[in-house]
Amino acid sequence: MERFRLSKGGVLTKPKSDVLQGTLALLVLKTLAQGPMHGYGITLHIQRVSSDVLRVEEGSLYPALHRMEQLRWIGAEWRMSENNRRARYYRLTAAGRKQLAEEEKNWARLTEAVAAVLECA
């Protein structure tokens, strides 16, 4: 079965950090797994939870969101935010949930493999 990788082929903008680019989808999906959120909220969440280590560039976020929306991993609708401001909220779909599980599995395998290589000093 075909899989669509966000990081392959330079679909998005030139990545500052390749690892971050490839995992952007993973991070966004995980963020949304906790509940619907708008784009700004997503950047804040990731920044906060990673203790400011990971900063999502706005320039990378929106193309990625658009792409994931078209892949039907996430859905979107306009809602009123906390401060009574109109914002576009994204939520995870069933397909997105499956994709998230897949990406989490892959990430685990990747980190294991890298750790194994590093330990073998």
Partner 1 sequence: MSWLSRLKSLLQVQRLEHDLDDELLSHIEMRTEDNLAVGMSPEEARYDAQRRFGNLTLLKEETRAVDIVGWMEATGQNLRYAGRMLRRNPGFTLAAILTLALGIGANVAIFTLVEAVLLRPLPFPHPDQLVRVYDDIRSSNTHDVGMSVPELWDLRDRSEVFQDISVIFPADANITGGERPERVEFLGTNANYFTMLGVHAQLGRTYAPGDALPGFSEAVVISDAYWHRGFGGDPNVIGKKIRVDGDLYTITGVLPPDFHHPGRTLTADVDLWATTGFAAPPFPAPPVRAVRLLPGVMGRLKPGFSLAQAQAQLDNFVAQLTRQFPDEYPLAAGWSIRLVPAQQDLVGNVRTELLVLFAAVASVLLIACVNLANLLLARSASRQREMAIRLAVGAGRSRLITQLLTESILLATISGVAALITVVWLKSSLLHLAPANLPRLSEVGFSLGVLLFAFLMSILTGVVFGLAPALQAARTSHRSALSEGTRGAGTSNHQLKFSRILVASEIAVSLVLLIGAGLLVRSFEHVLEVQPGFEPHHLVTAKIWLAVPNDPKGDPYFTPEKRAAFHQEILRRISALPGVEQAAIGNGTSLPIDFNHFQSPFIIENRPLDVERTPVAEIATVSAAYFSVLKTPLLHGRVFTDSDDTKGQQVALIDETLAHRYWPSSDSDAIGQRLQLAVARRGQTSAAQNPWVRIVGVVGNIKSDGLDAATPPHIYFPVFQTPPYSAVVFLRATGEPGVLSEALRTEIQHVDPGIPVFSVRTMETVVSTFLAERRFALELLGIFAGVALLLACIGIYGIMAYTFSRRINEIGIRIAMGAQRTDIFRMAFEEGAVTIALGVGAGLLGALALTGFLESMLFSVKATDPLTFGTIAALLAAVTLLACLLPAHRATHVDPLIALRHE
Backbone torsions φ then ψ of 91, nearest 5 degrees: -140, 160
Q: Strand runs (DSSP E) across 7-92, as ranges?
A: 37-38, 74-80, 86-92
Among residues 70, 101, 108, 110, which is the contact residue for partner 1, using CB under 8 A?
A: 70
Query: Rounded distance, CA 39 to CA 41, Å?
Result: 5
Does the footprint of partner 1 cover residue 35 (CB under 8 A)? no
> Would you say 14 or 119 has its CB closer to partner 1?
14
**What is the helix (H) or strand (E) element at residue 113, kind and residue range?**
helix 94-119
Does the footprint of partner 1 cover residue 53 (CB under 8 A)? no
Does the footprint of partner 1 cover residue 79 (CB under 8 A)? no
Does the footprint of partner 1 cover residue 91 (CB under 8 A)? no
Does the footprint of partner 1 cover residue 13 (CB under 8 A)? yes
Does the footprint of partner 1 cover residue 57 (CB under 8 A)? yes
3-state helix, strand, coil in the chain (%, to 5): 55, 15, 30
Crossing angle between the packed helical segments 18-33 and 94-119, to the nearest 10 degrees: 140
Among residues 53, 94, 120, 121, which is the contact residue for partner 1, using CB under 8 A?
A: 94
Site residues (vs partner 1, CB under 8 A) = 1-2, 4, 9, 11-13, 38-40, 57-59, 62-63, 66-67, 70-72, 81, 83, 85-88, 94-95, 98-99
